[in-house]
Amino acid sequence: MTNKIRWGILGPGKISRSFAIGLLEAEGAEIVAVGSRDRRRAAAFAGEFGVRNAYGSYEEMLADPAVDAVYIGTPHAFHHDQTLLCLRAGKHVLCEKALALNADQAARMIAAARETGLVLMEAMWTRFLPAMVRVRELVATGAIGEVRSVTADFGFRAKFDPASRLFDPALGGGALLDIGIYPLNLAFMICGEPVAIQTQANLGATGVDEESVTLLRHEDGRLSALSCSFRADTPREAHIQGTEGRITICCPWWKATRIIVQPREGKPDTMDLPARGGGYSHEAAAFMDLIRSGVPESDVMPLDESLAIMRTMDEIRARWGMKYPGE
Amino acid sequence: MTNKIRWGILGPGKISRSFAIGLLEAEGAEIVAVGSRDRRRAAAFAGEFGVRNAYGSYEEMLADPAVDAVYIGTPHAFHHDQTLLCLRAGKHVLCEKALALNADQAARMIAAARETGLVLMEAMWTRFLPAMVRVRELVATGAIGEVRSVTADFGFRAKFDPASRLFDPALGGGALLDIGIYPLNLAFMICGEPVAIQTQANLGATGVDEESVTLLRHEDGRLSALSCSFRADTPREAHIQGTEGRITICCPWWKATRIIVQPREGKPDTMDLPARGGGYSHEAAAFMDLIRSGVPESDVMPLDESLAIMRTMDEIRARWGMKYPGE
C-alpha cells in the first residue's frame, strides 16, 4: 500500500481549490491542514474539503507536525518567502508556477531546498499530463524527425482591474508570469534554454505586461514563437514542427487531452489522452513519488530548468524595461 | 460588354500555368502571346492554352502590338529588368510577387510605371480573394473589436536542391521572398507598416534563408508573429486577434476559401467563400479593371505598400546578414 502523504494547503484561493480536487484523486494523498491569513477563508476551505485543521496563519499551519508537504497556491510575489518558511519548518514544497518573481528569488529557494534535502518542485502541472508525456515520447523517438520550431499561444481577454492579481505589480501581475510561462515552459521542454531572445510587449496602466510576443533561438537553430495576452483571445494551440511531421496540441493546449500527429506524408493520427483530477492529479502523484522514494528533485520539471525559465523571464522583462516592486 | 484585355505571358513556368488558368476564367481576358528564352517552352505553353503567338525572346513578344498587358511569372531576380522592358514597350505589367529582389529595384520599377502612366501591380493574389475581402470588411466594421495581433505561418518541407529557384541566391531564392512574403503581406494588410522588427533565421548551404520567424511591432502596439520554412510543414493558418474576437483563416490560408469568426462570446461563424480560377481570377479581374478605368494603381495592393513590404524584407535580411548577388 502506498503510504499517505499528508498535505497542508497554503493559501485557500481558486487555484488551491482546483489543485485540491486533483490532489484527492491522486493515490495516497490526504489534506490535513489549510492555512490562510484569514481564518474564515481557511475554515471555509476546510469545510469544503473535509480538512481537519484550519489555521489563521501560515506559521501555525507549518508548526503542525502532521503536515508532510505544503502546496503553495498564493500569487507569485509570495512564493519566495513562503517557500523558505515551509522549508525551514521541514516541509516538502510544491510551489505554484511561476516559482518566484525572478531568478534571484528562485535561486535562493532552490539553495534552501538543497540544504535541507526536502523536495521542492514548481507546480508546472502541464508537463505531467499524459498528453505531454506522449509528446515527449514522440519527439524523443523521432516521430516528427528533427524538431525545427515550437509555436504556442495563451491569450484571453481579462477584464481590467488594477486590484486583481493579474494586473497588480505588487502581486507579480502581468501576462508573462501568469500565462506566458506555459508557452515558455513548452519551448524549454522541447528545445531547451534559448541562446537568443527577442521580444515585444505592451505594458498597461498598472505597469505590467498585458500582451507580448517572444521569439527564441535555441541550440541547433531551433526557433520558438510564443505569445500571451490579457487583451485578446488567441487560438490556444501549440505546434511542434519537425522535418518529418508536426504535432498539434489541441486547444486548450496547457491542459491538453488531445494531440494530433501529422506525419509529413500520410494521414493525421489523433490521440485522446485524458487527464485525471482536472489535470492536477498527475503532478501531485509525481511529487508524492519523489517524497516516497527520497528523491528531492523532479527530472520532469527539474529545479535547474525552473531556474533557467525564471532567468529567461527576467531577461524578457529587462528587454521591456519592466520591473516588479523591490527589484 | 467588357472590352478584351490581350495578354502576353512572360516566362511560361509553373506559376504562369496556374495564373493562365485563372486568367481565362476572368471575364474579358485573352492570352495572345507567350515569350520565353526557350522557344520550345513558349510553343508548348502556346499549344496548351491556345495562344496565337509563341516568341523565343521577351523582346520579340513585347514588340507585338497585339499585347496590352504582360504577366511576369519568372523568378524574383528577373522582375526588375523585365518590368522595365515591358513598361518601355508600353505594356501594362502584373508582376509576380515578390515585386523585386529589394526595395531599390522596386522603387525604380514604380518610378518607371508612374512616368508612363501604365498599370503596374504586384501579383499578390491572396489580397483579392473573396475570403480576404471579407476579412478586411470584418476588421473594418469592428467584428473583432480592436485588432491586437496577427499570427501567420507558411512552411513546407522542400527537397534541398541548390539548382532550384527556391535555394539559388542568383534567382532570389530563400523562404522569405517566396513564401514568407504572404504572412508579411497579411500583417501589412491588417496592421500596416511595422515600427520595429525582430527576426531570427537559419540560412542554408547556398546562403539563403531556409526558415525564419519574424516579430513586428506596428502602430498602436499591434504585434505580428510570422514564420516561414522550407524545412518543416507548419499549420498554414492565419489568425487575427482582436479585443472582441478573432478570425481564423483556414489552411491553406494564402489561398483562403474558409474563414472562421469567433466572437469573444458566442458561437463561431464559419464562412465559405470560394475562389475562382484556383484563386488567380480575382487579381486578374482587378488588374484588368484598372486598365479599363484608366487607373494606374491598385488600392487593394498599392505600389507604395508593395515598396514598403520590400523595404521591410530588406531590413529583415539585413538583420540576418543575407544579401543577394550584386547587392
Average pLDDT, chain A: 97
Cell of B226: 510570422
Q: Is pLDDT above 70 for A1?
A: no
Q: Establish, for the pair of chains A and B, how many residue pairs have beta carbons separated by less than 8 Å.
A: 120
Give contacts of B223 with chain A, Cβ < 8 Å.
200, 202, 211-213, 227
Taking a C-beta distance cutoff of 8 angstroms, is the pair A231, A242 a contact?
no
State residue B157's pLDDT score: 97
Q: In a 3-state reduction of DSSP, which class is residue B14?
A: helix
Instruction: Report B:241-300 residues touching A (Cβ under 8 A).
Output: 241-246, 248, 262, 264
Q: Is pLDDT above 80 for B6?
A: yes
- Per-residue pLDDT tens over the stretch B297-325: 999 999 999 999 999 999 999 999 999 99
State residue B1's pLDDT score: 53
Measure A264 CA to nearest chain B CA, in Å.
7
Q: What is the pTM of this model?
A: 0.96
Got the DSSP string for A157-210?
Answer: -PPP-TTSTTT-GGGT-SHIIIIIHHHHHHHHHHH-SEEEEEEEEEE-TTSSEE
State residue A121's pLDDT score: 98
CA dist B22 and B250 (Å) reads 21
State residue A105's pLDDT score: 98
State residue B113's pLDDT score: 98
If 0-12 CB within 10 Å is exposed, 13-18 middle and 19+ buried, where does residue B47 land?
Answer: exposed
Report CB contact under 8 Å: B200, A211: no
Rounded to two decimals, the ipTM of the complex is 0.95
Q: Please give the DSSP secondary-structure letter assigned to residue A4.
A: P
State residue A99's pLDDT score: 98
Cell of B196: 520595429
Give contacts of A262 with chain B, Cβ < 8 Å.
233
State residue B296's pLDDT score: 95
Report CB contact under 8 Å: A223, B235: no
Taking a C-beta distance cutoff of 8 angstroms, is the pair A290, A283 a contact?
no
Closest residue of chain A to B203, computed from CA coordinates:
A221
Q: Nearest 5°: CA angle at B102, between B212 and B178?
A: 45
pLDDT over 70 for what percent of chain B? 99
- Considering only CB atoms, A213 lies closest to which of B215, B229, B237, namely B215
State residue B245's pLDDT score: 98
> By C-alpha distance, which of A87, A90, A91, A127 is closest to A110?
A87
- Per-residue pLDDT tens over the stretch A96-131: 999 999 999 999 999 999 999 999 999 999 999 999
- Per-residue pLDDT tens over the stretch B50-105: 999 999 999 999 999 999 999 999 999 999 999 999 999 999 999 999 999 999 99
B200-204, Cβ contacts within 8 angstroms, sequence gap of 24 or more: B200/A196, B200/A198, B200/A215, B200/A217, B200/A223, B201/B176, B201/B316, B201/B320, B201/B322, B202/A221, B202/A223, B202/B231, B203/B320, B203/B322, B204/B160, B204/B167, B204/B230
Contacts with B115 (C-beta within 8 Å, 6 or more apart), sequence order: none
Measure A301 CA to nearest chain B CA, in Å.
27
Taking a C-beta distance cutoff of 8 angstroms, is the pair B209, B225 a contact?
no
> By C-alpha distance, which of A69, A278, A283 is closest to A185?
A283
- Per-residue pLDDT tens over the stretch B267-290: 999 999 999 999 999 999 999 999
If 0-12 CB within 10 Å is exposed, 13-18 middle and 19+ buried, where does residue A152 land?
Answer: buried
Cell of A202: 505592451
> By C-alpha distance, which of A83, A96, A75, A80 is closest to A22?
A96
Q: Is pLDDT above 90 for A2?
A: no
- Per-residue pLDDT tens over the stretch B113-155: 999 999 999 999 999 999 999 999 999 999 999 999 999 999 9
